[in-house]
Amino acid sequence: MNRRIVLLVASFSCCADIMAQTGAVTELPGLVPPAVVKGTAVAAGSFSSTQMLRLVFGLQHPHMAEEEQFLVDLNTKGSPEYRHFLTADEWNARFSPSPQDEQAVVDWAQAQGFTITNRFANRLLVDVEAPVSVIERALAVKINSYAMGGASHYSNDRNPVVPAALIHIVHSVGGLNNIQVMKAGNHGFAEPEFPIYSPGPAFAVGESGSHDGNRTKPPGASPGVVNLGYDPQVIYTSIAYDAYALYALGHCCNPLGDPGISPKETSIAIVSSGTQRGSDLTGFLSADYPILAANYEEFYIDGTPPCCDAEGTLDLEWSTAMANSFGTAANTATVYMYDGANSNLSTFTDAFNRALSDGRARVLSTGWGGAEFNSIPQIGDGHRSRHLQLHDRPGLDPGSGLGRLWSHRGLPGSRRGHLSRVGSQRGFRRRLCNPVSFGWSIPA
């Protein structure tokens, strides 16, 4: 009982310190993991006050009703807005938080001792980093260690607060715990041990590679090459998607002959965690499928990711196989891997927004999900992906269900938000029933 009283006194003292420094504050609700609230995660003492953490401040959408109506009109036949997609600049001017609101968040964060690590053109997110001691003082929280499922985690013990002046600007704070994390869809392969914090820039260009296909060499693989009973040759047939019929049209994946690389309409962005296993990809292309071409590039999000990400490697291989020119690398679909340094929700939030902001691809895929939690604020309304211009290349149809949308609730497979087809390749690998993220673009 005495220990509980001491903890409560410390808690009120912490909050009083914040109020004394910043004036009136407002709580941001729903940001304590249910496992902490319910006691499933057992408190195991204070977390290191010097441990560095990366946080993501999600900003409110100032014109939510208009944004919702636009998304409805965009997909409603007969509407003046039907398929009138916006460029990134047009969307930002019409729907994004104002530069003044974003700057207010930046100014407050810097005044609290946070280091600003990244800002986005859409002003939806502000990335920061700081030691735990700074985070606790600024947000009036206590970061504790917790034991759950035989593993050690960290988490805030209460909802964070922000100055009342920011309550209509800041929607959420991501990165306060590593209990709610994204999970790889394929549970048969081990993922790397992810660090709590990885030094380095919030965004960096990683490895890249290309490989010309060789039509004179037949595939060296047989069904079972991916240890799941079938391989790309099976998927190409009518047993699954009958991709041979599409390949016969000859439109994959650079129909207008862009020099050196496929256009964004036929390129694929994949969000994952950890770097991909290069030797596995090399074997997939050289030994198993020399007929396949490949063109890929990795981007590192929130520090340097560890190796090796089995889920992302499989996603890269299958996306490459399902959107292939069987010729030069320049004419096959380019796959852009956005690799987080860990599987935290805040890291995936940054990765999704980076893929959206870069505009390199019109198809987004991920093999990671978080279906065990319902609405995650930091990748929810505070990070709602948006429609960009898809018809800025005459004669090309977006293809691949590109009117379909990224879930504004952060759950892959839903149809709200932007980018296009969001889904895992594992549907093909396991059930032969979920269309993979093709990079097709058929002339209208």
174, 217: one domain: no
Q: What is the DSSP letter of 323?
A: S
Q: What is the DSSP letter of 61?
A: P
365, 398: one domain: yes
Q: In this structure, which amino acid lies at residue 218? A: P
Last residue of a domain, one of 178, 213, 233: 178
b/e code 291-303 from CB counts within 10 Å (16+ = b): bbbbbbbbbbbbb
Q: Which domain holds residue 115?
A: 2-61+96-178
Please report whether residue 190 resides in a domain: no
425, 326: one domain: yes
303, 264: one domain: yes
Closest CA to 344 of 370, 317, 372, 371: 370
What are the two backbone dihedrals, phi and then psi, of residue 26, each rounded to the nearest 5 degrees?
-130, 140
- Give the integer Cα–Cα distance in Å for 41 and 147: 6
Tokens read off for 389: 């211009």
Residues in the chain predicted with pLDDT less than 70, given as ranges, are: 1-23, 217-230, 250-251, 371-444
Please report whether residue 195 resides in a domain: no
Give me the pLDDT at residue 253, please: 85
Tokens read off for 57: 């401040």
Q: What is the DSSP letter of 383?
A: G
Please report whether residue 186 resides in a domain: no
Closest CA to 57 of 105, 23, 100, 24: 105
Give me the pLDDT at residue 372, please: 52
Q: How far is CA 429 from CA 148, 182, 433, in A?
A: 31, 20, 9
144, 263: one domain: no
226, 130: one domain: no
- Answer whether 386's CB lies under 8 Å from 95's CB: yes
223, 311: one domain: yes
Please report whether residue 235 resides in a domain: yes
171, 224: one domain: no
E-only strand ranges, 242-393: 268-273, 294-301, 335-340, 363-366, 368-369
Please report whether residue 185 resides in a domain: no
313, 423: one domain: yes
Give me the pLDDT at residue 218, please: 59
Q: How many domains does the chain have?
A: 2
- 144: Cβ contacts below 8 Å, ≥ 6 apart: 43, 44, 45, 46, 47, 154, 155, 156, 157
Q: What is the pTM of this model?
A: 0.80
- Give the integer Cα–Cα distance in Å for 33 and 40: 10
- Give the integer Cα–Cα distance in Å for 247 and 31: 47
227, 161: one domain: no
Please report whether residue 437 resides in a domain: no
Does the bond joining 15 to the residue before it have cis omega, within 30 degrees of 0? Answer: no
Is residue 257 packed enough to be buried (19+ CB in 10 Å), middle (13-18) or exposed (0-12)?
A: exposed
Please report whether residue 379 resides in a domain: yes
Please report whether residue 70 resides in a domain: no
136, 215: one domain: no
400, 283: one domain: yes
